[in-house]
């Protein structure tokens, strides 16, 4: 029993030494440049959307300053930052907007372009995209 106890302790210690570096690793929030970095990314993404003929028509009646504020809060919260998203649920805000899978992909491209332009490493980009990808069920409605 003693041996079993010892090996359990060793196992726990081993597990701790494995998890410690992960706990110290920077959060996605930090890797995106914290609140200011995320605000800049969202601003640039919205400019890219405005330049994109495939999807810009969706936003002609949108209050872009408000959308920028909501996106910045949402991404900050999703990335583990200290923000609290105060906007609508995704289904609620996108119902009736006739958003296709292609539209969704175009928006993701606009975000990727913004991240590339801000020298966000691909690994960090992928961590953010992995959080957004599952939302397509709530947003795509065509
Ligand atoms: C992961 C992808 C997306 C995320 C995270 C997202 C997030 C958001 C957020 C946070 C809002 C603001 C909600 C509020 O006002 O409370 C919003 C609104 C909006 N989104 Fe998205 N969205 C996504 C994809 C798309 C796509 C693909 C389109 C169209 C091409 C789109 C078009 C819009 C429009 C037009 C509004 C404003 C609606 C209004 O004026 O009330 N979104 N979205």
Ligand 1 centroid – CA 94 distance (Å): 6
Question: What is the per-residue pLDDT across 14-45, written as a single tens digit (0 to 9) for each?
Answer: 444 444 444 446 799 999 999 999 999 999 99
Distance 40 CA to ligand 1 centre (A): 17
> 1.10.1040.10, 1.10.490.10, 1.10.2020.10, 3.10.640.10: which CATH number matches 27-139?
1.10.490.10
| pTM to 2 decimal places | 0.87
pLDDT one-digit tens code per residue, 48-104: 999 999 999 999 999 999 999 999 999 999 999 999 999 999 999 999 999 999 999
* DSSP conformational letter for 82: S
* Per-domain boundaries in the chain: 27-139
Q: CA distances (Å), 136 to each of 27, 78, 99, 108, in order?
A: 24, 15, 10, 11
- Phi then psi dihedrals of residue 22, to 5 deg: -65, -40
CA distance 45 to 118: 11
- Encoded tokens for 132: 């957004």
Residue whose Cα lies nearest atom 5 of ligand 1: it is 132
Q: Which atom in ligand 1 lies closest to the alpha carbon of residue 87?
A: 16
Contact status, residue 79 vs residue 28, Cβ threshold 8 Å: yes
């Amino acid at each position: 029993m003693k041996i079993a106890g010892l090996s359990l302790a060793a196992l726990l210690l081993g597990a701790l030494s494995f998890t410690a570096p992960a706990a110290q690793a920077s959060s996605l929030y930090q890797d995106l440049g914290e609140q200011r970095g995320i605000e800049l990314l969202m601003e640039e993404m919205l400019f890219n959307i405005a330049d994109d003929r495939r999807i810009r028509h969706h936003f002609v009646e949108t209050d872009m300053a408000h959308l920028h504020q909501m996106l910045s809060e949402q991404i900050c919260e999703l990335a583990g930052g200290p923000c609290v998203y105060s906007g609508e649920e995704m289904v609620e805000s996108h119902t009736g907007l006739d958003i296709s899978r292609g539209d969704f992909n175009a928006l993701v491209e606009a975000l990727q372009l913004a991240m590339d332009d801000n020298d966000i490493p691909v690994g960090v980009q992928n961590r953010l995209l992995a959080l957004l990808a599952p939302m397509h069920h709530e947003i795509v409605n065509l």
